[in-house]
Amino acid sequence: MRQSRFTEAQIIGMIKEQEAGMPTAEVCRRHGLSPASFYKFKAKYGGMNVSDTHRLKSLDVALSLKGLCLILCGTIILKLENSGGIVVSLKKHWSPGSDVAVQSVERSESGGWIVSGVLAPNGICPDCGLHSRRRHGWRRRRLQDVPAHGDEVTVDLAICRWRCQAPACSRRTFSDQIASIARPFARRTSRVGEIVSHLGHATGGRPAERLLHRLGLGVSDDTVLRQLKKCAQGTAEAPTVIGIDDWSWRKSQTYGTIIVDLERRVVIDILEDRDVVTCTNWLKRHPEVEVISRDRCGLYAQAARQGAPQAKQVADRFHIVQNLRQAIEEQMNLHGRATGRALLSDADNITAAGSLLKSRLAHRTSREEIFITIHALQNQGLSCSEIGRRTGFPRRSIAKWLQFETPPDRRRAALKRTSPWYFEEFLRQSWKDGIRTGSALFRLIRERGYEGSQTHLQRLLAGWRRAEQQASDPKVEHEILKPVRDPETGHAISPVIAAALCIKPRGKLTPDQARKVDALKAGSPAFAAMRSLAMRFNGILRGRQGDPLPAWIDDVIETDLAPIVRFARTLNRDFDAVKNAIEMPLMSDNHLGRCRQPPWPVGLDGRRACPSGGQPHRPD
């Protein structure tokens, strides 16, 4: 048989590299093997350590027939004589329990061992406790036991049914009890179930299945997962401190509710939706809950009030800080959505709604000016990559533009019947005639072959209505806020980066980040005020004292920063939960992040033992 040029230790090392995040192609290139060979090794050695391979190798070594003893779990069970025959040294070593008397040990047709045993010669009634020797009948029960020398062992027990001879006892017949050997209706002994649970919890479904087959235990991955579920259901304690959050079955489409035990860092249950009624019913079935950590969504707050009024509500600190960052980002949007293209000039603000001060700076310059600038940089001898770094445009776009002598024309797709612009002339004439409701215009163009949706038509009509309203209403002039640029690169600092830097303490800033913070404070008085408020709020969170919070909320409301004022008012409405989040040290992270280690084993196929019986999931 051809032997592999890699040792078991080398193969397991390759698998560890791939599981650590290195691409499979890079692992194969580094070690000089094909992807097919790598996945073949992974199917064989996945989930193992080097010690496991040594154990499996020792099971395959042929033993000599001179005075050697086979040892399983430290118990001598067989002895090899010089004659070459296999002789049972002690029958008690084959017994699955002290209550079983072994009668015989034989080889099965499949190559395993069959251990025949009987229980005590009398039975004890579980109701009255009277001993009985009057047998009513008997049956055979077969159980899978620990293997012997890599071969399967089946225990064949004779289970007797006895008659209760006590006249006052309501039970007439009863069977032998073997609770110390196996659970009711189980197909394997309790000690085999413990081995399956330990291996399944350590390695997962399919790796445990491969290891158990090599050890002589024919157990499937489904059985491993079922065994883990039984163990989890039998040992779970009533949760008192839980976290509730939503998570996606399918992102941006269907969402459910995940409930986490924050003391044991395990997932308790998964609800199929994020409805108030569903969450309330779950909380009513668990009156032992004392603390509920949740996000600042009113849905879970209402469910907690209705389903567990005795529990203390705590706002999740992760979501509090996240909401503050989003408010800062919204305020910094008044300086424009920076794209990093330093050569583009600032255009006029575009008002999103009449009285709301939501504006964006449009970085739009004529294509001719951009085209001339790129060619001028090329004439200076700069490469496409260097031009890209200076302008912020992708290198491929620059290389494409340098192939032309004049700016290329934009390619516009031909209008189709799925677009309402295909019927623009008819719609404008109908609009002038006084037909301005979306449903009426939708019926008219459907009769002329329109294949799109009414939503697309409503977007077109909304633009026409806004244009008429802007023409009739007096224009409101807003102050144009220029974007703050990095003094070293000249690129505009985006609102996302500005918001992240605003809530980051000075001691954790890198030199580049500190330079950007100083530039933002110098160029934007609003940023300087928000950073001062954010550092005060950060100190309140870290100080674990909720008393300064009312004063902070009052100071924020007195400012003219609308997004930050809205954030402070929402904190005031949920003041008790926010104060509990500050003073209670347990709620310091988001619920899904607290369960980074999967609560149930994950095999190479990604399968998990989900307590609700649903499909395997991945927390967002």
Listed residue (596, 594, 591) closest to 316, CA to CA: 591
Q: Is 510 exposed, middle or buried (0-12, 13-18, 19+ CB in 10 A)?
A: exposed
Q: For 260, phi and psi rounded to 5 degrees? A: -120, 140
Quote the Cα angle for 390-527-579, to 5°.
Answer: 130
C-beta separation of 539 from 506 below 8 A: no
Residue type, 213: H
C-beta separation of 586 from 262 below 8 A: yes
For residues 76 and 87, what is the distance between their CA atoms, to the nearest angstrom? 12
pLDDT per position as a tens digit, 178-213:
888 888 888 888 888 888 888 888 888 888 888 888
pLDDT per position as a tens digit, 467-503:
888 777 655 444 556 778 888 888 888 889 999 999 9
Residue 484: per-residue pLDDT: 84
Number of C-beta neighbours around residue 247 at 10 A: 18
C-beta separation of 360 from 346 below 8 A: no
Q: For 262, phi and psi rounded to 5 degrees? A: -75, -20
3-state secondary structure of 313: strand
H or E segment to which residue 27 belongs:
helix 24-31
CA 33 to centroid of chain Cα atoms: 33
C-beta separation of 258 from 612 below 8 A: no
CA 73 to centroid of chain Cα atoms: 39
H or E segment to which residue 158 belongs:
strand 151-163
For residues 312 and 319, what is the distance between their CA atoms, to the nearest angstrom? 18
For residues 304 and 295, what is the distance between their CA atoms, to the nearest angstrom? 12
Residue 473: per-residue pLDDT: 63
Give the 3-state secondary structure of 564-620. Answer: HHHHHHHHHHCHHHHHHHHHCCCCCCCCCHHHCCCCCCCCCCCCCCCCCCCCCCCCC
CATH for 241-316+588-595 is 3.30.420.10
Residue type, 459: R
- Please state at what angle helix 8-19 crosses helix 24-31, rounded to 10 degrees: 150
C-beta separation of 345 from 322 below 8 A: no
Q: In what order do the strands lie in the sheet with 312-315?
A: 266-271, 254-261, 241-250, 291-294, 312-315
For residues 271 and 343, what is the distance between their CA atoms, to the nearest angstrom? 51
CA 59 to centroid of chain Cα atoms: 39
H or E segment to which residue 396 belongs:
helix 395-401
C-beta separation of 269 from 611 below 8 A: yes
3-state secondary structure of 515: helix
Token pair, residue 442, equals 């939708």
For residues 565 and 559, what is the distance between their CA atoms, to the nearest angstrom? 7
Largest CA distance in the chain: 112
Residue 611: per-residue pLDDT: 41
For residues 71 and 86, what is the distance between their CA atoms, to the nearest angstrom? 14
Residue 536: per-residue pLDDT: 92
Measure the N-to-C terminal CA separation of the chain; round to a whole number of Å.
48
Rg (CA), the chain: 36
Q: Which residues of the chain have pLDDT under 50?
A: 1, 59-89, 338-365, 476-478, 588-591, 594-620
Strands, E, within 96-150: which ranges?
101-107, 113-118, 123-124, 131-132, 135-148
3-state secondary structure of 485: strand
Listed residue (225, 223, 199, 218) closest to 48, CA to CA: 199
C-beta separation of 117 from 155 below 8 A: yes
- Please state at what angle helix 317-332 crosses helix 495-502, rounded to 10 degrees: 130
Number of C-beta neighbours around residue 325 at 10 A: 18
For residues 81 and 97, what is the distance between their CA atoms, to the nearest angstrom? 27
Residue 75: per-residue pLDDT: 35
Q: Strand 151-163 relative to strand 135-148: parallel, antiparallel, unpaired?
A: antiparallel
C-beta separation of 155 from 142 below 8 A: yes
